[in-house]
Amino acid sequence: MLTLRRSARVISQMLFWVPVAGFSLLLIYNTLPYFSFSKEFDFIEERSFLFQSNFYNSCFYIHIAAGALCIGTALIQFSKYILKRTKVIHRWSGKIYVFVVLFLGAPTGLYMSFFAKGSFWERALFLFMAGWWFTTTLYGLGTILKKNVLAHKIWMIRSYAMAMTAVTFRIYHLVFYLLDWDHLENYELSLWISVIGNMLFAEWIIYQKSRRYLQSFTI
């Protein structure tokens, strides 16, 4: 019975992590062409007036590099194999993730949120995302410095969920594009579903892990 349950858990984890890793690596791969610094990308052409500012231009490239680096290092962070066998890699990748979020990814995201596409509410959502990403990561750092491993895991799951909105947004956007949704409606709906969906999914994972943790004391 225990073997069957363990096998089911391994399969479910693979069904989750294989697509996550695949889409994450695909996002990183799709980010690389931007560093040709060509202006012939739809995102840049739509905001050509913003890219005339050197500061916005710098923030954009810093932000996409930070996002790709965070998503890549986060995959290492949640590997149980690496955590158990080579904790040094876990610690160093964690330090890179925290530094990049707190000093590069979140601050540039915060600035760019004021110029985001969409209505006031989409810009407010981007503002919230940057603030929540910064806050969850900061709490994740603070809890591990206090040796509170359980709280550290909880806050880093929330941080990772926010980082992964860059991935889930593109998945939803592609699905709605194939359903022939209007471009702006597609953009706005994909953004809101991605952020709210990722946050709810993170809390569900935290609930499941917390329940298993408490059950370990009753067995």
Question: What total of structural domains would you count in the chain?
Answer: 1
For residue 95, give its domain range: 2-215
Query: What residue ranges of the chain have pLDDT lower than 50?
Result: 2
What pTM value is reported for the model?
0.89
What distance in Å separates the CA atoms of residue 63 and residue 209, rounded to the nearest whole number? 31
Two tokens at 187?
């953009």
CA distances from 174 to 18, 167, 213 (A): 19, 11, 37
**Residue tagged 């329940």 (tokens):** 211
pLDDT of residue 83: 66
pLDDT of residue 57: 94
How many helices and strands (H and E) does the chain possess?
10, 0
Residue type for position 211: R
pLDDT of residue 208: 87
pLDDT of residue 82: 66
pLDDT of residue 81: 65
pLDDT of residue 91: 86
pLDDT of residue 116: 93
